[in-house]
Every structure is written in structure tokens, then in C-alpha cells.
């Protein structure tokens, strides 16, 4: 059955049916998903009950896996162990951790608007989040379209943003909540800050995106306070309701999104209840690379 798409928002996001993500996709199916992602930026695949190996195999059809913050404090030779990332409030015993545990407190940063691994270069592209167990209320994920945000940006702000770049730092979101003293100098140096232009062209669609988010900590060539205020103003613009879509999870949902042209955030839920999701994220590959040839094209 071919990929079937049903738009869920006037500007972006579509429900995707017709594919069984637990099996290898044909080249034409991978291409169809990629085209749909370029158009909609967020795809909801309902009813996909995937094991971790199946989710990892699905993700790898779109690029090499990226470990994100797992790179902090890990030896490079161990990074290959990390294929999927646990997005949960669970301990090793499978029960919810105390609300004052380091993992739970750190995960609260996911409730700030961000794009996954914007603190890295080369860029990551897609994230895929799969729902395994859910709390009785809350825990939604919100997305916003940074391309629509750019299109609607007043001309005065477009002119001001032109040529400006922001520094993105891996731990900025967590340090915003926890303070600078919660991370060692070694941890802070594990992923050096990178610079992205505020006006960024999305490689798949060719559309311009307003590239902001909580990982952006300062604007180059601008005073720290002035730059932070501009970043806050731009983030407020980008995340207004007109550009936003909220996903209310059902077990088996897999949501796939493009980090190069969207922001997302999790919403609050009862931390004493189980919330378990699994995320895979892929590095960017050249536009037009074939499913079987993206690795060679990246060399």
C-alpha cells in the first residue's frame, strides 16, 4: 500500500498511513517519506508497535544515528552502543524515579522549545519518537514550523536578522534550569558550541527558516543582554499558536520530525506515573542521496 497523507494543520504536519515501519522500506517508500517530510516537516505514523531494533533499523534508512547528549562523558569508542535514546522517567527497575533524581530534573529541559542537537555541526536531520507507555494525563509534545515563522516575520525583523548568527551550546537548556555549577568543565567541553545563522535555508524544501531555540545562548557580534532579548523575541514569535501543533500521544504512535525547520517541546505530566518513549535521531545526509548510497555520498 502506498504512503497515504492527511494534513493535520494548515501549515505543516500530516498523518501518514500505508507503511509498516517494522519492516525494511523499499527505496521508493523511503523517497516518499523524504518528500513528505520536506513538505510537512512532521509526520505522525499511528499504530506502529516497534521493538527497539525495528525502530533503529527504520531510522538508519534515513541516515547514520546520532547519539546527541550521550556524547557527554562517554568515550568515543562506546558511542556505538547508543542506538536509541530512552525518553522516560524510569529507573533501572522499570519504576518511576523520584522527582528529585538527576535524570528527571535534567529531562525537564525537554519542556523548553528546542531542536534536537542544534548544538552540533554537521546538522542532524530527523528525529523519530515512539510511544511505549503513557501517563494518565499530560505529556503531549508540541511542534512549531520555523519556515512559517520566517515567512510571517515582519520586514523590519527580517532585515535585522539578516547576516546574524547564534551560538548554540549543548548544556545551555539544562544550565538554564540547574545552574552552571551542576556540570564539570570536562562535561561542558565535551560538545563545543557551534554557530548557526538565524536565517537558515532548509535543504530539502529550499524554504527559509527562522532558526532559534533554547540551545541558542548568544548572538555573535552583539552585546550579551541585547542578543538574549532578541533571541527571546524571535522565539516568542516562532512559537505563537498560529505556527504550533500539539500531539496527544497514543501507545504505538511514532512521530517523525525535521529538526532543521521545526522546534518542539514536551508538556508537563504527573512525574509519579510512567511515561516511556524511545527516540532515534539521524545525521543530515546530502539532498538527493539514494537510500543505498547516502553513506558513500557523505564521504
All domains in the chain, ordered by first residue? 4-298 (3.60.130.10)
pLDDT tens track for 86-135: 888 999 898 999 988 888 887 888 899 999 988 888 889 999 999 999 99
92-105 CB burial, b ≥16 within 10 A, e <16: eeeebbeeeeeebb
pLDDT at position 188 is 58
Outline where the chain has alpha helix (H).
27-40, 52-60, 102-107, 146-151, 155-161, 172-178, 185-190, 224-238, 294-298
pTM above 0.75, yes or no: yes
280: pLDDT strictly greater than 90: yes
Question: Over the stretch 160-212, which tens digit does the pLDDT of each residue have?
Answer: 999 999 999 877 667 666 666 565 666 655 677 889 999 999 999 999 999 99
Do residues 83 and 65 lie in contact, with contact meaning Cβ atoms separated by under 8 Å?
A: yes
Assign 213 a pLDDT band (cuts: 50, 70, 90): very high
What's the pLDDT score for residue 119? 85
Look at residue 285 in the predicted model and tell me its pLDDT: 82
Phi, psi of 266 (to 5 degrees): -85, 160
Q: What is the pLDDT of residue 61?
A: 95
Task: For strands 254-258 and 42-45, give the pairing.
Answer: antiparallel
d(CA 41, CA 86): 23
Residue 46 CB-half CA count within 13 A: 10
Amino acid at each position: 500500500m502506498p504512503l497515504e497523507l492527511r494534513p493535520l494543520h494548515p501549515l505543516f504536519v500530516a498523518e501518514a498511513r500505508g507503511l509498516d515501519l517494522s519492516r525494511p522500506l523499499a527505496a521508493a517508500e523511503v523517497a516518499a517519506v523524504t518528500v513528505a517530510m520536506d513538505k510537512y516537516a512532521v509526520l505522525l505514523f499511528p499504530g506502529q508497535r516497534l521493538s527497539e531494533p525495528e525502530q533503529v533499523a527504520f531510522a538508519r534508512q534515513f541516515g547514520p544515528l546520532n547519539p546527541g547528549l550521550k556524547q557527554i562523558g562517554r568515550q568515543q569508542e562506546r558511542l556505538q552502543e547508543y542506538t536509541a535514546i530512552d525518553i522516560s522517567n524510569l529507573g533501572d527497575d522499570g519504576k518511576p524515579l523520584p522527582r528529585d533524581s538527576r535524570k528527571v530534573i535534567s529531562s525537564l529541559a525537554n519542556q523548553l522549545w528546542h531542536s534536537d542537537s542544534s548544538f552540533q555541526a554537521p546538522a542532524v536531520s530527523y528525529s523519530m519518537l515512539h510511544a511505549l507507555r503513557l501517563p494518565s494525563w499530560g505529556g503531549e509534545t508540541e511542534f512549531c514550523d520555523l519556515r512559517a515563522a520566517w515567512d510571517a516575520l515582519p520586514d523590519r525583523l527580517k532585515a535585522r536578522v539578516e547576516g546574524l548568527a547564534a551560538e548554540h551550546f549543548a548544556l545551555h537548556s539544562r544550565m538554564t534550569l540547574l545552574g552552571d555549577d551542576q556540570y564539570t568543565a570536562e562535561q561542558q567541553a565535551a560538545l563545543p558550541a557551534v554557530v548557526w545563522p538565524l536565517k537558515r535555508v532548509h535543504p530539502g524544501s529550499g524554504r527559509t527558516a527562522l532558526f532559534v531555540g533554547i540551545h541558542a545562548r548568544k548572538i555573535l557580534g552583539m552585546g550579551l543582554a541585547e542578543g538574549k532579548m532578541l533571541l527571546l523575541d524571535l522565539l516568542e514569535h516562532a512559537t505563537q499558536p498560529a505556527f504550533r501543533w500539539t500531539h496527544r500521544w497514543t501507545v504505538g504512535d511514532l512521530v517523525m520530525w525535521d529538526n532543521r525547520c521545526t522546534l518542539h517541546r514536551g508538556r508537563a505530566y504527573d512525574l509519579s506515573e510512567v511515561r516511556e518513549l524511545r527516540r532515534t535521531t539521524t545525521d543530515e545526509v546530502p539532498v538527493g542521496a539514494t537510500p543505498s548510497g547516502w553513506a558513500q555520498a557523505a564521504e
